[in-house]
Structures are given as structure tokens and as C-alpha cells.
């Protein structure tokens, strides 16, 4: 039976405080959510709209306010969230943030009880995922990595692709929440496989973004119309949602952030580190990474990945 359909439902009226009800007394899953940036904020909002009870935390506490307005409870620390929830989701910026949120003095590890679940949906390297998994399971709790493919709009629309690996029972328990968050979910096996899959996906996307930028830059300097270039790309074998969405942004110099450029450069760096560990040359990815590094150094790190065009053109 799913966690939402669980029987023995009592004491529904006492939900004012985070720790008011035990798992068995509640008719919906109580889900923790750590990290309320561009992605996390939209994902947590979708869970609330779907009827889940959500407890939120963010390092900048003010970011919790819009979700509290939607009905979320706000916690003071990751430890408090993990202690109160059936399972906790995290969407954090990078490996350092992922580790600090788990291993810090008020981190997840300090609050997890036996058999509770922790699901890290951040994009990290496989070594970080395995280190967190080892610590979580050593406490008798369960761990799942579940990074996502998608940016702000898919997060808002609930159409992310969820790349999960780790504890299969936790994957199954979180299925109804995943159905709210994504259009597709896959279980990839042992911890580390989700992180590797996400790095492969983002490595390809980063190269595609640089290729589109260079194509438009060359075409425009050769007196071709930008709209015509995009139209031809859309009509052929290279048609894809990313070109369809990002192409007009490049032409309009619109870098409204849905996926911060600094995070793409981080993902490219992690993919290159993975390539070193397995002995796979990545000449194209290495070159694309240098373009993203240049854009970051030029001050475009907080802008959308579309801003890479500004250093290409």
C-alpha cells in the first residue's frame, strides 16, 4: 500500500506543529523539502498543490515564505525536517551544499530515524552520492539519489525526468510524489548511477548550447537571418525542445534564468572529472567547458545558460 493510501487514519485535526502526528496517524505523506531555489521552490509548490503535507527549509529562510503561504510548515534546520517527515527531498546547488546539509551539526544525519528516507535530487558527483548514502544507511535509514533532467519550466509544469538509484523500497514509496514532479522516472540501480546519468545528460546539453551559440554567431555574421537559422534547424534532424526554447532567447539577448550558467559549468566540470576517473577522453566537452568558464568569469554566472552566447558572438 502506498504511503498516501495508508489505513488507520486518525487525529486529522492536529496539524499545527511539525511533530504533531505520527506517520500512522496521517492520511498523506509528510514530505520534507530542503533547498528552495529556482527548481526546489517550484517542486515543493507542486507537492503542496497535490495535497501532500510539506515541511520546508532553506539556508535563506525568507525563501520559505511563499511556500508557507501555500500551506507548508517551515523548519529551522535540515535536522528538524528529517526528524519530522516520512521522507525528505533535497534540491541543492552543488556537492559542497549537499554534504553540508547532511553532515552539518544541524544536518539531516542528526535527525533521521531508522527506516526514514532521504532523497537527494541535487546534481552531484557519484563520490558525493555514495558518501551520503553510506552515512544514511549506517544509521538504519534509507537513501535514494534522484537528480532530475529539466529546468525551471519543467519543474513548474511537473514534467521533469527523474533519474533514481539506491534503495528500491524508498523509490517505490516516493512514487506518488515523483508522479507529481515528473513526466518520467527511471530506476538505474546502485547509488552513483543516477549521478553519472545526470552528468552525461548535462554534458551533452552544455555542448549543444555552445554549438547553437556558435551556429547563430556564424550565421548572423554571414548575413543570415537568425530566425531563418532556427527555422531550418527546427525542420530537420536537429530539431529539439532546447533549441526551440533557447534559440529565441539567444537572438533577443534574453538570459532570464531558468538554469543558472554557473551550475552548468559545475556540471561540465563534474562530467570531466568523471571522464578522468574512467579514462574516457572528452575533447568536445572540455572545449565547451572552457566557454562556460569564460562566461562565468565574464560575470554571467547567475544568468541563464543562454548567456553563454554573449561570449561566443
The span from the CA of 124 to the CA of 263, in Å, is 11
198 part of the active site: yes
Instruction: Tell me which of 73, 198, 246, 262 is the catalytic residue.
Output: 198
The span from the CA of 26 to the CA of 64, in Å, is 23
Q: Give catalytic residue positions.
A: 198
Amino acid at each position: 500500500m502506498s504511503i498516501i493510501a495508508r489505513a488507520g487514519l486518525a487525529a486529522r485535526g492536529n496539524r499545527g506543529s511539525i511533530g504533531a502526528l505520527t506517520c500512522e496517524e496521517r492520511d498523506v505523506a509528510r514530505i520534507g523539502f530542503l533547498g528552495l531555489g529556482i527548481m526546489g521552490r517550484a517542486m515543493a509548490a507542486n507537492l503542496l498543490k497535490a495535497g501532500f503535507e510539506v515541511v520546508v527549509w532553506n539556508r535563506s529562510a525568507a525563501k520559505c515564505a511563499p511556500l508557507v503561504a501555500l500551506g507548508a510548515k517551515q523548519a529551522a534546520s535540515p535536522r528538524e525536517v528529517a526528524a519530522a517527515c516520512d521522507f525528505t527531498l533535497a534540491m541543492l546547488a552543488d556537492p559542497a551544499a549537499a554534504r553540508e546539509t547532511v553532515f552539518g551539526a544541524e544536518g539531516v544525519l542528526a535527525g533521521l530515524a531508522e527506516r526514514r528516507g532521504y532523497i537527494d535530487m541535487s546534481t552531484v558527483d557519484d563520490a558525493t552520492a555514495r558518501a551520503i548514502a553510506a552515512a544514511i544507511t549506517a544509521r538504519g535509514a534509507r537513501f535514494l539519489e534522484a537528480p532530475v533532467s529539466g529546468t525551471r519550466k519543467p519543474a513548474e509544469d511537473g514534467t521533469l525526468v527523474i533519474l533514481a538509484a539506491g534503495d528500491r523500497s524508498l523509490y517505490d514509496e516516493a512514487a506518488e510524489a515523483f508522479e507529481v514532479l515528473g513526466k518520467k522516472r527511471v530506476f538505474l540501480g546502485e547509488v552513483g548511477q543516477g549521478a553519472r546519468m545526470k552528468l552525461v545528460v548535462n554534458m551533452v546539453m552544455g555542448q549543444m548550447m555552445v554549438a547553437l551559440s556558435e551556429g547563430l554567431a556564424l550565421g548572423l555574421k554571414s548575413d543570415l537571418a537568425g530566425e531563418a537559422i532556427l527555422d531550418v534547424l527546427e525542420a530537420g534532424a536537429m530539431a529539439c525542445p532546447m533549441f526551440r526554447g533557447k534559440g529565441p532567447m539567444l537572438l533577443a539577448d534574453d538570459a532570464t534564468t531558468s538554469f543558472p550558467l554557473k551550475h552548468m559549468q559545475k556540471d561540465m566540470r563534474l562530467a570531466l572529472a568523471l571522464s578522468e576517473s574512467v579514462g574516457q577522453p572528452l575533447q568536445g566537452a572540455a572545449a565547451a567547458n572552457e566557454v562556460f568558464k569564460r562566461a562565468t568569469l565574464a560575470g554571467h554566472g547567475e544568468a541563464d545558460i543562454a548567456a553563454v552566447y554573449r561570449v561566443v558572438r
